[in-house]
Chains A and B, each alone.
Chain A
């Protein structure tokens, strides 16, 4: 394997896969470095073809995990089961650091494909107001790009990954290149129609899924087929029905012949050449042998995930950059954000008792942010949306955890019950400089890399949002026609873990001013021209929409720019 490349891409997840595909397709010899193990698409680690009775331990995790305090950050989460365990990282083996009173949740997937194997697949464009927010209210670093800069790249990405969605015509959530949308359930249609009668700004729409419903020729050539509505996406998909690096971008990169792939190698540092003022490559540690080795390239793309890229930047110390490469501004690691929830609401939907659902739709419904403008006298800025669903009737359940045994109990179990609508608030966290990640001064991991210490919390603006979101969703459910409405609001004095939504962002923000930002409008380091960061770290604000589509668009745009510079030898 050659040790000198045109491009090194660090990470093989959702952005790493895109960077690899773009550079390989443009003819550049590209090396992708993944810290985790190799995983074959449709290989033995996929459990999507197992029926419930075929999954080991009936999908229960070994109790020894709790006894040994393994996977402590995700044990108990609905997505973490025996069938998906292999795609999540044990935080006991890979510890992080945080203040005792502010536990941070960093959910990781150390394998080829990264978290693209298990992501939520809700692909929502950001709207113009989302990019304007920082400049408008003065929080964080103003975005150096707007919606119009990214719009063609959204088109480009959506065309490749396949997005099943409805053209809703909403300014706050621009439409894109869509395949046939998923159907709303009878109950969801009732609520959506009722909201239309009352509101002009609050809409219940079908989610926008990276699950293909009308495969294109290109998708079929990559071996991808129509989503079969199994909703086993987090187990891997043998049909290639949802987009992941394993099903789409890495195969596209491989078929060019320009891709080299190294797994089980942790990037220790980006190596800086004091003479040229550029990055000359990376040094990695073999996870098995713990030996160091280096690779060289003309361009380095960090796509390791927001926090991992920050860790690499901070750990890449040199004479010019004693506090980490590309950190002349001193802002690397700052403005850590995530979405947050603090309100869960549900209610019965009457009037559709004679209707039933079939199949397991792979996406929820969505109520986009309607509070970009500070109105109605609210005491916060930015806003929130809701991820919501009533895709199936609820059922009567079993008596597994309540009194009752015998024939009558059994025959009344799991019978169709009412339609019940569930809504979960997703709020926009402001970019606070003091919410930051830094290298721990003494603690190191088993490879000798300093642990990342993450110190981040919600503040009063977010707490005020929760209160208003609670009021709003009650009204929305009432207007929607729901009954027996129940609202669960997180108390103000209860810590809400940042990272819990697995949308951590920031830490190497884009901006026009090199004094206060790390990256320019191309996600290119202000300090080191051949170093790009295009994962969640580059985000200057977090909006309310699921961010992966925007990461992908930013990556494709940055790769196109870097490729032009490479081709003209100006990098």
Chain B
């Protein structure tokens, strides 16, 4: 019975998230600029999804181009936890989420989801710096793995690849920028 449930969940993950990439239902806590996820996902619970969504957006924020939230990075990751992630990765991501929560408590005496955006940003920036400066800790390995998959999902998203052309129609190897922009706008070599 549990196998059937898992299969259905995987199917839902593949269809709903990996293909159409539905957004997670959220509500904004305006005072601290946090998107709170309302429902549990397929793998992560709502609290974990809230933290991950925030971390991903801090890593890849919306600027004049889409950010991680626009690209539904964490919704896709949640589905991929069932279809891609191995045992070690699951442990690492759970560990990383717990550690980020613990660092917030130790540093700010509050839950991660209660501190200001500037404090959250400072926390993740520091964690990023530490993780690449000292790579032999469990937290470093877990964080770097999480960062790598967040970036991978973002940079393979439709939102991050507005100029992607599935069927270029030909190859040109010596174009000016103007010529390239014209072809990209047209969407085919022509």
Contact = CB atoms under 8 A, between A and B. Distances in A.
B144 A186 contact: no
A67 B156 contact: no
A185 interface: yes
Interface in B49-106: 58-61, 63, 65, 67, 76, 80, 83-89
Nearest to B167: A228
Interface string A213-246: 0000000000000001110000000000000000
A227 B116 CA distance: 53
B158 A51 contact: yes
Interface residues of B, number: 56
Contacts of B133: 403
B95 to A, nearest CB: 16
Given A52-B161, A52-B164, A64-B86, A359 B172 contact: yes
A150 B157 CA distance: 49
B177 A354 contact: yes
A189 B152 CA distance: 33
B175 A411 contact: no
B57 to A, nearest CB: 10
A406 to B, nearest CB: 6
A181 to B, nearest CB: 11
B120 to A, nearest CB: 12
Contacts of A51: 158, 161, 164, 166
Given A58-B80, A398-B151, A182 B171 contact: yes
Interface in B138-185: 144, 147-148, 151-153, 155-158, 161, 164, 166-177, 179-180, 183-184
B132 A358 contact: no
B164 A358 contact: no
Contact of B61 (A183, A399, A410): A410
A62 B87 CA distance: 11
A188 interface: yes
Interface string A470-503: 0000000000000000000000000000000000
B152 A58 contact: yes
Interface in B1-50: 14, 18-19, 21
B169 A228 contact: yes
A229 B157 contact: no
Nearest to B85: A63
Nearest to A408: B63
A186 B83 contact: no
A414 B173 contact: no
Nearest to B14: A56
A478 to B, nearest CB: 22
Contacts of B14: 56
Contact of A406 (B61, B87, B175): B61
A182 B128 CA distance: 44
A534 B132 CA distance: 54
B110 interface: no
Contacts of A405: 58-60, 124-125, 128, 147
A320 interface: no
Contacts of B18: 54, 56-58
Contact of A402 (B19, B61, B132): B132
A481 to B, nearest CB: 16
Contacts of A391: 171, 173
B167 A357 contact: no
Contacts of B176: 354-356
B174 A229 contact: no
Given A56-B18, A57-B18, A403-B129, A189 B174 contact: yes
Residue of B125, B132, B166 contacting most chain A CB atoms (<10 Å): B166
A69 interface: no
A-side interface mostly: loop
A31 interface: no
B168 A228 contact: yes
Interface string A3-29: 000000000000000000000000000
A400 B147 contact: yes
A360 interface: yes
B86 A229 contact: no
Contacts of B167: 228, 230
Given A357-B173, A411-B63, A404 B128 contact: yes
A49 B88 CA distance: 33
A188 B174 CA distance: 10
Nearest to A65: B86
Contacts of B170: 228-229, 359
Interface in A337-369: 352, 354-361
Given A189-B174, A358-B171, A359-B171, A400 B151 contact: yes
A68 B144 CA distance: 23
A58 B153 CA distance: 7
A401 interface: yes
A356 B172 CA distance: 8
Contact of B125 (A358, A360, A406): A406
A57 B171 contact: no
Nearest to B64: A411
Contacts of B88: 63, 67
Rank and list the top 9 A-B pairs by shortest CB-CB distance, nearest first: A63-B86, A185-B173, A400-B151, A359-B171, A359-B168, A186-B174, A403-B132, A361-B171, A57-B84
Given A352-B174, A361-B171, A407-B63, 14 more contacts: A52-B157, A52-B161, A58-B153, A64-B86, A66-B86, A188-B173, A230-B166, A230-B168, A356-B179, A357-B173, A359-B171, A400-B155, A401-B144, A406-B61
28 contacts: A51-B161, A52-B157, A53-B161, A54-B18, A57-B18, A57-B84, A58-B156, A60-B152, A61-B84, A62-B84, A62-B86, A64-B86, A228-B170, A229-B170, A229-B189, A230-B167, A355-B173, A356-B176, A356-B177, A358-B189, A359-B168, A360-B168, A399-B151, A400-B148, A405-B124, A405-B147, A406-B59, A410-B61
Interface of A: 49, 51-54, 56-64, 66-67, 182-186, 188-189, 228-230, 352, 354-361, 391, 398-407, 410-411, 413-414
